[in-house]
Amino acid sequence: MTLTQAHAKGAAADLIETTIGQRLNQVAAAQPEHPALVMPHQSIRWSYAEFLTEVDKLATGLLALGLNKGDRIAIWSPNRYEWVLTQFATAKIGAIMVCINPAYRLYELEYALNIVGCKAIISAESFKTSHYLEMLQTLAPELEHCERGALVSGKLPHLKHVIRMGSDNSAGMHNFDAVCELGSATEFDQLAMIEPQLDANEAINIQFTSGTTGNPKGATLTHHNILNNAYFVGQNMRLSAADRLCIPVPLYHCFGMVMGTLCCISHGATMVLPCEAFEPKPVLQAVQDEQCTALHGVPTMFIAELDDPDFAEYDVSSLRTGVIAGSTCPRELMKRLISDMDLDGIVIAYGQTECSPVDTMTEMDDPFEARVSTVGRPHTNWEIKICREDGSIAGIDETGEVCARGYGVMQGYWGDPDRTAQTIDAEGWLHSGDLGEMDAKGYVKITGRIKDMIIRGGENVYPREIEEFLYTHPDIQEVQVFGVPDAKYGEQVAAWVQLRDAKTVTAEDIADFCAGQITHFKVPRYIKLVDEFPMTVTGKMQKFVMRDQYAEELGLS
């Protein structure tokens, strides 16, 4: 079918109507001895029966603490088995797991815990330069003198329980392992009564979305939202119980906990989490040792793996599929993934946290060009349309705002009906804030953010178009294009460029490369060579940070 307007629907399929806990129970009953969770960095290797036992121990421990359906329980940690247990234990009792970014500092932590009213937090002791327990003690000094579970904090008025990982004791805090032993026959009976009564359409997860302005918003997601999205992502990868998925992306984000762990549970596959935070060597080691068949990541992660000096020493021939998300896959990277990592079946996914998260995906059989220039077509049971500023549907190949509608659209931003209404319209369409276009076959290209669009002397300049051109330079590995203030034109085009190793290209060389090849007003006025980019822990580039830093550096702010 050829489209005449930029509006397409994905394939229709039956939706899963069970809760996350019920799905886990079903899979564990069907294949109790099958490997469920492998975490080399914590020496964890659990079958589905063992994993379910550990999940139920934590679930009943939380019940014993008085935590119940609807209570918000935060998790603040890098990728550890305690994180995975928390994800499924909270789902089993109907509590709402609140994902806290491991990079948060005091102000952000205080805001997040208070805006959604967290009653408990499960926290790692520390990771790298983040001393989590010290930050909690700073915000709630009352911990020093309170009984466990009886916190009364001036700054964190909703918080009652702090559950710390590790074997050390901390004043006012429970130990994670001790909580897992609290459940008695009473709580196990209680759990058995709770699970059948839970509704798949009830909230189960709050994910904070970070915009370029304002405080983070708590996207509220249900069992139904994320379980179905996870399942259909797995279907696109042709995932089965025979697969072992390597998950080096952070669990606190939808990529890790929906497209990763929950995707595996929904298909009975094995979860392999190679490290607390991404490093290329542990990932490659885990792929080799565990014979992983699938590997997730953002482009920068795959580049780091391929460029590891010892890459050739690892056997990654077991790989066949995986998901690239965060941005479009550069053409040369896709070639290397296929030729060097045997990832013939790797697919591209695009979406937003507010959509649980995937809106569009490429198919394993899509032509190469579609896999490097688009983010695929509407996902199963999804609609995508491209809208003009007046709300009308754009024409084929016309740029507009990407809007999505389907089972995965969030309930809303927690406690914020105004911002929810600004994002989800009366017809249920979620407005992404992304600029994109759709071709006649329904493939979507993302060209930038509405707020990222550069207006130079009245001309609309789309950063992605310039980036795609600059990627054709053989010595450029990564590039980010954005606007900076200009007294005459309003904005000028700026580019930060990362070169391939040992290259000596100059900014002037890059400007000369552009001259005569792209329209003069699209040629970057300012070019900076950089070694790295500011980005989120999920690999998304933070152009607003680059813009602010560069404008100040150039004296343009």
Residue that is written with structure tokens 């001036």 in the block:
154
Burial grade of 4 (CB within 10 A; 0-12, 13-18, 19 or more): exposed
Q: Note the CATH architecture for domain 454-553.
A: 2-Layer Sandwich (3.30)
Per the DSSP assignment, residues forming a β-bridge with 321 are: 294, 345
E-assigned strands of 115-167? 118-123, 161-164
Answer whether 378's CB lies under 8 Å from 359's CB.
Answer: yes
CA nearest neighbour of 407 among 264, 221, 261: 221
pLDDT value, residue 108: 83
Domain ranges of the chain: 20-31+44-199, 224-407+428-449, 454-553
Per the DSSP assignment, residues forming a β-bridge with 460 are: 455
Q: How far is CA 529 from the centre of its chain?
A: 28
CA nearest neighbour of 268 among 295, 245, 300: 245
Which residues, 6+ apart, have CB-to-CB distance to 369 below 8 Å?
none
What does CATH list as the number for 20-31+44-199?
3.40.50.980
465 backbone dihedrals φ, ψ, rounded to 5°: -60, -40
Angle at 278 between CA 540 and CA 105, to 5 degrees: 65
Angle at 167 between CA 166 and CA 171, to 5 degrees: 95
**Do the first three CATH levels of 20-31+44-199 and 454-553 match, i.e. the same topology?**
no
Answer whether 494's CB lies under 8 Å from 467's CB.
Answer: no
pLDDT value, residue 327: 65
Write out the two tokens for 397: 């190949």
Three-state DSSP string of 434-454: EEEEECCCCCEEEEEEHHHCE
Q: How many angstroms separate the CA atoms of 524 and 444, rounded?
A: 26
pLDDT value, residue 213: 41
Which residues, 6+ apart, have CB-to-CB distance to 128 below 8 Å?
277
According to CATH, the topology of domain 224-407+428-449 is: Rossmann fold (3.40.50)
pLDDT tens digits for 505-530? 999 999 999 987 887 888 999 999 99
Q: Are strands 7-9 and 382-387 parallel, antiparallel or unpaired?
A: antiparallel
pLDDT value, residue 214: 53
| Helix, strand counts (H, E) of the chain | 18, 27
Q: How many angstroms separate the CA atoms of 24 and 30, rounded?
A: 10
Residue 223 reports pLDDT greater than 60: yes
Average pLDDT over residues 135-151: 97
Burial grade of 545 (CB within 10 A; 0-12, 13-18, 19 or more): middle
Cβ neighbours of 198 (radius 10 Å): 20
Answer whether 76's CB lies under 8 Å from 123's CB.
Answer: yes
Q: How many angstroms separate the CA atoms of 49 and 68, rounded?
A: 24
Burial grade of 523 (CB within 10 A; 0-12, 13-18, 19 or more): buried
Q: How confident is the model at residue 538 (pLDDT cuts 50, 70, 90)?
A: low
Answer whether 255's CB lies under 8 Å from 296's CB.
Answer: yes
Q: Bigger pLDDT: 430 or 213?
A: 430
Q: How many angstroms separate the CA atoms of 222 and 452, rounded?
A: 31
Q: How confident is the model at residue 211 (pLDDT cuts 50, 70, 90)?
A: very low
With pLDDT > 90 as the criterion, what percentage of the chain qualifies? Answer: 81
Provide the residue type at 93 as one letter: I
pLDDT value, residue 458: 66
pLDDT value, residue 296: 97
Query: What count of residues does the chain have?
Result: 557
Average pLDDT over residues 109-129: 95
DSSP for residue 318: T
pLDDT tens digits for 121-139? 999 999 988 899 999 999 9
Q: How far is CA 526 from the centre of its chain?
A: 31
Provide the residue type at 214 as one letter: G
Write out the two tokens for 476: 């450029």
Q: How many angstroms separate the CA atoms of 163 and 152, rounded?
A: 15
Answer whether 6's CB lies under 8 Å from 394's CB.
Answer: yes
Residue 537 reports pLDDT greater than 70: no
| Mean pLDDT for all residues in the chain | 94
Q: How many angstroms separate the CA atoms of 208 and 215, rounded?
A: 9
Hey, is 345 helix, strand or coil? strand
Q: How many angstroms separate the CA atoms of 35 and 45, rounded?
A: 7
pTM for the structure as a whole: 0.86
Three-state DSSP string of 501-531: CCCCCCHHHHHHHHCCCCCHHHCCCEEEECC
Which residues, 6+ apart, have CB-to-CB distance to 416 below 8 Å?
217, 218
Q: Are strands 161-164 and 96-99 parallel, antiparallel or unpaired?
A: unpaired
